[in-house]
Amino acid sequence: MIRLLLFTTSAVLVSLAGLGCSSSSSSSPVLTLGVVLPTSGPNAAVGQEAADAARMAVAEWTQRFADQGYNLKINVQDDASDPKQAVAAAYAISGDPTTFGVVAHYNSGCFLPASSRYHEAGLMAISPATTNVEITQKGFAEIARVTPHDGIQGLLTARFVRAHLGPVRVAVIHDRTQYGQGLAEVFRDQGQQLGLKMISFDGIQVGDKDFKALLTKIRSESPDAIYFGGLYDEAGFLVRQMRELGMKNSFITDDGVFGQDFFDVGGEATEGAIVSFPGTPLDKLESAKSFLKSFEQRFSRPVQNYGPYAYDVANILIKSAYEAIKNKQSTDLRAEVVRRARSITHQGALGITRFDSKGDTLNARFSFYQASQGSFQYLQTVGLEESPTSASPAIGDDDDSAATSNKPSDSAAAPAAGG
């Protein structure tokens, strides 16, 4: 397998030229940060923000690489949230010998199959958004993520519902994807252990827009709440059609629904919906202020979702590569990036990021929000060691006053639809 070689400065120039690496007009060898995200398709807005955040990180590091004799570039590939296209993009990215790391995928269904290619290529791939538990279970040293996995999200959501609603009857719906169904299964299983009464577990098809037949069946079972594992489009249609059928049940869903698209699809019916999202709200983190301001100035729009996550991932990869070339400690840049990235303690927009032995973030916290008048109102943040309190606003869907304090600014919203 083609690898990047690092010797003396002159040897590096010869080695990279021999590998067919492109160069700038000053003949500096190129090093490339790969990015594979959905920049087209249903999740294009989320993918574009994340890709822009990675571009921002590259721009900030360019001069330091130039000082070391390198031309830092970025290569953004579109996976369109499609697993087959994701694997093809992974091959394209990893086949470029100048690539030292990848900001890899928004969807779990894309990262799961693509991860094998990154492993084969010895290429460090860190996801800014994927949460399916299986992603880090393969034991690949080249795979990591900065979002807590669904085992944590499902458990903390079940605890939150139990603390706020009591031992209620819950109907569970999922979108049959590795993300949505996997998360729904965790919520169901953990909720049962906590005393929630799971009365049904139904799957829908991504892309469908008419769920009234299923919702009519669920209405006849008289649930107190409906939990949905999936993304914003289906969530928006579900909650809108629930209200059209006169269903006033609480609607609880996941980080895949945290974004403006949920309001665009669901309209006024989204009022009162509860959404979970990884981490602490960015407006409550001093570490995020500089990024949020710089992003809005550079791209003339506020952060909506996974931009900060992609920014931190890009910085972890770039910093690992920079330290390797600066110290000239290895003849294998990709392997050195893997070693450094997996052991790093990174202070970034999200605060401190470190990975465990499987590549999962040790920053395992989720926040809960309530939809109110077209925005997400912050309720509380909970970690594994904490129990949700009942001091936050009640989570009834028809209570307009339920979440009127601690509102994050639009530019400080936590990430959006992941999975």
Give the residue from 194, 193, 197, 175 showing the smallest Cα distance to 184: 175
Higher pLDDT, 271 or 132: 271
pTM: 0.77
CA 207 to the chain's CA centroid: 21
Look at the block and give the residue holding tokens 């309190």. 389
The Cα–Cα gap between 2 and 87 comes to 19
Distance CA 134, CA 126 (A): 15
pLDDT at 409: 30
CB neighbours of 264 closer than 8 A, spacing ≥ 6? 236
Sequence-ordered list of residues with C-beta below 8 angstroms from that of 311, at least 6 positions apart, any chain: 53, 54, 56, 57, 291, 295, 348, 349
What is the model's pLDDT at position 22? 44
Q: What is the pLDDT of residue 281?
A: 86
The one-character DSSP state at 29 is: B
Q: Residue ranges per domain, the chain?
A: 9-149+285-353, 151-282+365-412
79: left (phi over 0), alpha (psi -120 to 50) or beta: alpha
Radius of gyration of the chain (CA): 22
- Rounded distance, CA 415 to CA 418, Å? 8
State residue 330's pLDDT score.
60
Q: Which of 369, 356, 382 is nearest to 279 (CA)?
A: 382
- Looking at per-residue pLDDT, the higher value among 399 and 283 belongs to 283
CA angle at residue 405 from 289 to 242, to 5 degrees?
A: 110
314, HSE (Cβ side, Cα atoms, 13 Å) = 31
Q: Does domain 9-149+285-353 have CATH number 3.20.20.10?
A: no
Rounded Cα distance, 232 and 252, in Å:
12
Predicted confidence band at 391 (pLDDT cuts at 50, 70, 90)?
very low
pLDDT at 404: 29
pLDDT over 50 (residue 418): no
Q: Is residue 375 packed enough to be buried (19+ CB in 10 Å), middle (13-18) or exposed (0-12)?
A: middle
Please give the backbone phi and psi of residue 363, each rounded to the nearest 5 degrees, phi first.
Answer: -90, 75
Mean pLDDT across the chain: 87
Q: What backbone torsions phi and psi does residue 157 show, to the nearest 5 degrees?
A: -70, -40
- Residue 26: pLDDT band with limits 50, 70, 90: low
Longest dimension (CA), the chain: 75
DSSP for 45-95 reads HHHHHHHHHHHHHHHHHHHHHHHTT-EEEEEEEE-TT-HHHHHHHHHHHHT
Predicted confidence band at 42 (pLDDT cuts at 50, 70, 90)?
confident
As a whole number of Å, the end-to-end CA separation of the chain is: 31
pLDDT digits (tens, 9 = 90+) for 112-121: 999 999 999 9
Mean pLDDT of 287-312: 93
pLDDT tens-digit series, residues 135-148: 999 999 999 999 99
Burial (CB < 10 A; 0-12, 13-18, 19+), residue 23, is middle
Section 75-98 average pLDDT = 97
Task: Compute the average pLDDT of residues 293-314.
Answer: 94
User: Percent of the chain beyond pLDDT 90?
Assistant: 74
| pLDDT given at position 313 | 98
Banded pLDDT at 53 (limits 50, 70, 90)? very high
Q: And the tokens for 359? A: 């590549």
Dihedral of alpha carbons 206, 208, 212, 217, sign: negative
Over residues 172-177, mean pLDDT: 96
Within 10 Å of residue 206's Cβ, how many Cβ atoms?
A: 15
Residue 242 CA to residue 205 CA, distance in Å, equals: 17
For 151-282+365-412, which CATH class?
Answer: alpha beta
The predicted model gives 340-366 an average pLDDT of 93
| Residue of 230, 164, 237 lying closest to 388 (CA atoms) | 164
Q: Round to whole Å and give the CA distance between 174 and 139.
A: 28
What mean pLDDT do residues 33-45 have? 94
In angstroms, the CA 240 to CA 234 distance is: 10
pLDDT at 15: 36
Do the first three CATH levels of 9-149+285-353 and 151-282+365-412 match, i.e. the same topology? yes
Helices 289-299, 307-327: inter-axial angle, 10-degree rounding: 100
Average pLDDT over residues 13-33: 56
pLDDT per residue as tens digits for the range 239-259: 999 999 999 999 999 988 998
Q: Which of 317, 316, 335 is nearest to 33 (CA)?
A: 317
Q: Is the pLDDT of residue 65 over 50?
A: yes
The Cα 309–Cα 316 span in angstroms is 11
Is pLDDT of 317 > 60? yes
What pLDDT does 399 receive?
Answer: 37
Q: Convert the pLDDT of each residue in 394-408 to its tens digit.
A: 454 433 333 323 322
User: Is the distance from CB of 282 to CB of 402 less than 8 angstroms?
Assistant: no
What is the crossing angle of helices 150-165 and 178-194, to 10°? 40
